[in-house]
Amino acid sequence: MAAERRVVYMNARLLDPASGLDETGALLTVGGKIWDAGAHLFADGVTDGSEIVDCRGMCLAPGFVDMQVFLNEPVETTARAAAAGGVTTIAVMPNMNPVLDRVSLVDYIERLARDASVRIHPIAAATKELGGEEMTEIGLLRAAGALAFSDGRRAIADAQVMRRVLTYAHAHEALVIQHAEEPALAREGVMNEGEMATRLGLPGVPAEAEVIMIERDLRLVALTGGRYHVALVTTQAGVEAIRRAKVQGLPVTCGTAPHYFALNELAVEAYRTFARTSPPLRAEADRRAVVEGLADGTIDVIVSSHDPHDVESKRLPFDLAASGVIGLETLLPTCMELLHGGHVPMMRLLDALTVRPAAILGLSVGALAKGQPADLVLFDPNAPGRIDPDTFHSKAKNSPFEGRPIQGKVLRTVVGGRAVYQAG
């Protein structure tokens, strides 16, 4: 039997939010697993013939775990974009054609994942055809490999249906992910309600649409005991509602995406459709509240909310353009803005990108621990640059950050001990 491949990452700043490790040292992978890591490792040099990667003092962390990716492109295209962004595990939302609401379709995603360059897991639909009326076969879908249940971009609006979903998910130890937006309040809106929307002559979505849905669901969580995750928190009121729920001890978590802490509603000036999102970009006070929620851990995870669209669906009048942005390849540099601005420390950012989403999804990844999968990202947090969608691996170019000056660059991404991305 051939010996397993041994790779030593030398001279790295080892960052592991799961253990609090932050020191200069080395990490050894054997086959697809982490063997050991720390300042003590190979202190006298490497003499066993292992392959050596000199990290030159750059940051070596667990690969990022992204809880919200929409698979609107070929699987391998999405996987390449993920690898280029330092993302080693993605959870794909059920909004596909056909919808991921049957065991056979979950099995199909699982089969596709076997040949992908990053780890891919399905999130199944909570209701059939995302219709919000009839619950899917949660037990069977869970057994088939669904990590969680959600209607993706659609809120589960019917309270009785949501109660049943939470109840059945609880019985199968499954997570329910909600798009927190009260549909009746949000239906006609295309951007945040307020002065900007009035000036542009566009119908708005009030911030209350988010917190009304969250507060209703929190009552149902208390009633059922179901595990509940708000996919994207974007408002000050939403952050505060989640903070109160956590104090009460409810099994509640939440996430946000970079465009909600790096941009506000001003980004849609001049009717910039690449900044049309769902939920919409909010007011500056909301953006600041999201940053504070990330800093204190109220907001558990950061997702890319990667949602690629072709140019034709974005180059339309604002109220007709598709909602959604691409985000996998801009995830690291946009997060580094919070670090360089002194708003969120490195370990909290990495916690939100690695071990915390892994724990919420029940995945054994996201840590630099012996025996863990060798899923790694090597990055330079200070490398200057400018976001250029023409260099992206994603076929779509709908980034609201085009031309933005940045600091932070992914240098190498490793999945199962194998390099799947190397910066040019």
Enumerate domains of the chain plus CATH numbers.
6-60+373-384+405-422 (2.30.40.10), 63-361 (3.20.20.140)
pLDDT at 424: 81
* pLDDT confidence of residue 45: 78
Residue 1's pLDDT is: 44
Contacts 24+ apart (CB under 8 A), 56-59: 56/11, 57/11, 57/12, 57/13, 57/24, 58/12, 58/13, 58/378, 58/379, 58/380, 58/411, 59/12, 59/13, 59/15, 59/378, 59/379, 59/380, 59/381
Alpha-carbon distances, residue 173 vs 149, 150, 225, 359, 362 (angstroms): 11, 14, 10, 13, 10
Q: Bridge-partner residues for 373, per DSSP?
A: 33
**Chain centroid, CA 59 distance in Å:** 20
356 forms bridges with which residues in the sheet? none
Give the per-residue pLDDT at 44.
80
What's the pLDDT score for residue 2? 55
Which pLDDT score, from 0 to 100, does residue 42 have? 86
- pTM for the structure as a whole: 0.97
Per-residue pLDDT tens digits for 67-82: 999 998 899 999 999 9
Which residues of the chain fall below pLDDT 70?
1-2, 47
The continuous run of DSSP H or E covering 144 comes out as: helix 138-144
Residue 255's pLDDT is what? 98
* Parallel/antiparallel/unpaired status of strands 405-415 and 376-386: antiparallel
